[in-house]
Amino acid sequence: MNRNDFLKQVQTGQLLPVYLFLGEEKFFHDLLIKAALNKLIGSDEQEFNYMVLDAAGIEPEEFIRNLETAPFFGAVRIIRLEGLENAASNLDEAVIKGLNRLASGVFLFITAVKLDGRKKLHQEMQRRIVAVDCNRLKPPELANWIRTQAEKNHLVLTPNQARLMGERVGPDLQRIQTELEKVKAFAGDQTGIQDQDLKLLIPGEPEPDIFGLIDSVASRNPKLGLPKLKDLLDSGENELKILATLSRQFRNIIGALAARTQGANSKTLAEILGINPYVAEKSFIQSGDFTLTELDRILERLLLADYRIKTGQREPRLELELTVVEITTGM
């Protein structure tokens, strides 16, 4: 079941007693359950008739007792079982048994990032419980979602502006909501915003400069790499942060190199690694400049630099500069 279908059931009062909210996007878990909660239970009753249980910590007997407990001072009670993927097998069994032991008026909402399809209990669970799709949005969906959320805040974004926000913020929907609130506060009574203002309000992470540094490394030219590094350091970026970002990006490039050999594209890479589409595209391009052997050597040198800096063997800036020189010259 998709999210809109669930919301329609909420509005029409046709909810089933049990649902499984399945996917890595916790924002959707919260959004959908909140919609059902506000529809079914008044705000004055939620303290008594809404309970959140941690699947990793609750005992099966206690879970069953809660399912069998009728609503307090009202007609409806909602139990949210959080993080089913972290539950022990005996709780999985209790969930299956509990489907037939719900007290009248009790709704069970289960959340999970992903269930193990190899487990018979998880297979049975997904056969018997309606699952609501809460997976992370793909890049084209993300841009459309951003525009829709902006309109709810009486803000009109162009397709390019929505795409830019998605690229700079990434797939974190909660952060996108916060950024949209910031943009609306800046726009005031206006319904739109200029591109240059949006870029100032939502600056990118240091990756664009990091990409410039990596491009210099790919060209094997220390005369280009060192000035790029100096610009980053002079702008106030921490040496270990730059080092960590370099290491992360070179791991992305290794992933892109592997994706190339399997005939995948940058969109697939973004989905597999869960990274920004812009980062995936740049990684895909840069992967054409390296061999796997070269990338392994670079990662080993970055790891050595991290060790030397953290153990105080060498001054951070000097070690980072030496690392860039050695990588670009092939030493």
Rounded CA-CA distance 39/109 in Å is: 14
Q: Kindly report, residue by residue over 79-122, the tens digit of the pLDDT.
A: 999 988 888 878 988 999 889 899 999 999 999 988 887 778 88
DSSP β-ladder status, 50-54 and 18-22: unpaired
Which residue, among 253, 259, 251, has the nearest Cα to 290 in the 3D structure?
A: 253
pLDDT tier, 123 (very low <50, low <70, confident <90, very high otherwise): confident
- Return the bridge partners of 107, or none: 78
Domains of the chain, earliest start first? 3-133 (3.40.50.300), 139-201 (1.10.8.60), 207-329 (1.20.272.10)
- Return the bridge partners of 109, or none: 19, 80
- φ, ψ for residue 82, nearest 5 deg: -95, 130
Q: Kindly report, residue by residue over 215-254, the tens digit of the pLDDT.
A: 777 767 777 788 888 887 877 778 888 888 888 888 989 9
Place of tokens 């200029």: 194
- φ, ψ for residue 37, nearest 5 deg: -60, -45
The stretch 148-155 carries a mean pLDDT of 90
pLDDT tier, 204 (very low <50, low <70, confident <90, very high otherwise): low
User: What is the model's pLDDT at position 2?
Assistant: 94
User: What is the model's pLDDT at position 16?
Assistant: 95
User: What is the model's pLDDT at position 19?
Assistant: 95
Contact 116, 151 (CB under 8 A): no
Rounded CA-CA distance 22/111 in Å is: 6
- Return the bridge partners of 20, or none: 110, 131
User: What is the model's pLDDT at position 14?
Assistant: 92
In a 10 Å sphere around its CB, with 0-12 CB exposed, 13-18 middle and 19+ buried, how is residue 311 labelled? exposed
- Cβ within 8 Å of residue 73, ≥6 positions away: 45, 48, 49
Is residue 266's pLDDT more than 50? yes
pLDDT tier, 331 (very low <50, low <70, confident <90, very high otherwise): low
Is residue 327's pLDDT more than 70? yes
Give the number of other Cβ atoms within 10 Å of residue 65's Cβ: 12
The stretch 190-209 carries a mean pLDDT of 74
Place of tokens 């209990």: 121
Give the number of other Cβ atoms within 10 Å of residue 2's Cβ: 10
Rounded CA-CA distance 288/105 in Å is: 59
User: What is the model's pLDDT at position 29?
Assistant: 94
The stretch 278-284 carries a mean pLDDT of 80
pLDDT tier, 203 (very low <50, low <70, confident <90, very high otherwise): low
DSSP β-ladder status, 18-22 and 130-133: parallel
User: Which phi-psi region, left, alpha or beta, contains residue 299 (left: φ > 0; alpha: ψ -120 to 50)?
Assistant: alpha
User: What is the model's pLDDT at position 89?
Assistant: 79
The most confident of 200-204, 222-226, 277-281, 304-308, by mean pLDDT: 304-308
Is residue 37's pLDDT more than 80? yes
Contact 20, 47 (CB under 8 A): no
Rounded CA-CA distance 123/128 in Å is: 9
What element of type H or E holds 295? Answer: helix 292-310
Is residue 208's pLDDT more than 50? no
Mean pLDDT of the chain: 86
User: What is the model's pLDDT at position 127?
Assistant: 86
